[in-house]
Amino acid sequence: MLKIRLIPTLLWKDFGLVKGEKFSSLRRVGPILPTIKVYNARDVDEIMLCDVGATAKNIDPNYSLIEEVASQCYVPLTVSGGISKLEHIEKLLVAGADKVALNTSIYSNPFLLTEAAERFGSQCIMASIDAKRNGDRWICVSDSGTKIQTVEPCNWARQLADRGAGEILITSVDQDGTMTGYELGLIESICSAVNVPVVASGGAAGAKHMVEVLRNSNVSALCAASIFHFTEITPLDIKKELMEFGFPVRIGI
């Protein structure tokens, strides 16, 4: 049976890991390699690594960082942040990334997604959508949450899946770092809009929030960051709880 994936998200900025709230007030949470080693030892299902400063600074992805991280990573590694050309993707895959997530660059250049999926296969290309509440609806935002986009998240998710995205990562900016639970309505609406796997992100403080979202929608994977940075809860603790609620999870050998 296919398992629900639990994915720790690591945010990188300049020279170390950070975590904030609602995409701002970032604070330092430590060096990256020891963190990767811990996640490996704990046998997480996958690791997501986002360079949150790359787009604003208009710099290329940090290939040597990815190479270092990948050498310590025995589960799939998804890399995002500052990816705006096919050449970036190619170099990231050589450096050891298994998948890439595209976000800001595809608002102005959706063809990049199509070309990337054709060249590297859909399974390798994740489309990432950051969304914010706007009255009783949601809007897409890009550039680390600083720029409002006109397209509506469900509509955008559908377009991205049609263009060849292998997975959709949906992050709620309002819930990010608040540890008050996932944005259930948003996640459910994206799950209903597309037939590719959907990865939920933003707001988890523990297994109970994950149970909420799993009961409410057909998500394939759950991201979390604050839990692992700021609490003693381990990925295994969460998986054991999810298992008690009857959800399929992977317990490593």
Among 94, 108, 137, 146, binds other proteins (CB under 8 A): 94
> What binding mask, one character per residue, do residues 28-57 give for other proteins by CB under 8 A, x or -?
---------------x-x------------
With CB under 8 A as the rule, give the number of residues binding other proteins. 36
Among 15, 25, 121, 137, binds other proteins (CB under 8 A): 121
Considering beta carbons, is residue 10 or 161 the nearer one to other proteins? 161
- Any contact of residue 88 with other proteins (CB under 8 A)? no
- What the block records as the tokens of 34 is 């020891």
- Any contact of residue 83 with other proteins (CB under 8 A)? no
Among 57, 119, 137, 147, binds other proteins (CB under 8 A): 119
Of 103, 109, 159, residue with least CA distance to 131: 103
Tell me the window of 24-32, 96-104, 143-151, 178-186 that interacts with other proteins (CB under 8 A).
96-104
Among 105, 109, 114, 122, binds other proteins (CB under 8 A): 122
- Any contact of residue 123 with other proteins (CB under 8 A)? yes
- Any contact of residue 216 with other proteins (CB under 8 A)? no
Assign 3-class secondary structure to the chain.
CCCCEEEEEEEEECCEEEEEECCEEEEEEECHHHHHHHHHHCCCCCEEEEECCHHHHCCCCCHHHHHHHHCCCCCCEEEECCCCCHHHHHHHHHHCCCEEEECCHHHHCCHHHHHHHHHHCHHHEEEEEEEEEECCEEEEEECCCCEECCCCHHHHHHHHHHCCCCEEEEEECCCCCCCCCCCHHHHHHHHHHCCCCEEEECCCCCHHHHHHHHHHCCCCEEEECHHHHHCCCCHHHHHHHHHHCCCCCCCCC
Backbone angles phi and psi of 50, in degrees to 5: -120, 125
Site for other proteins in 175-204 (CB under 8 A): 195-198
Among 14, 27, 59, 71, binds other proteins (CB under 8 A): 71
Tell me the window of 25-33, 89-97, 129-137, 173-181 that interacts with other proteins (CB under 8 A).
89-97
Site residues, other proteins (CB under 8 A) = 1-3, 5, 43, 45, 67, 70-71, 74-76, 93-98, 119-124, 166-167, 195-198, 218, 220-221, 250, 252-253
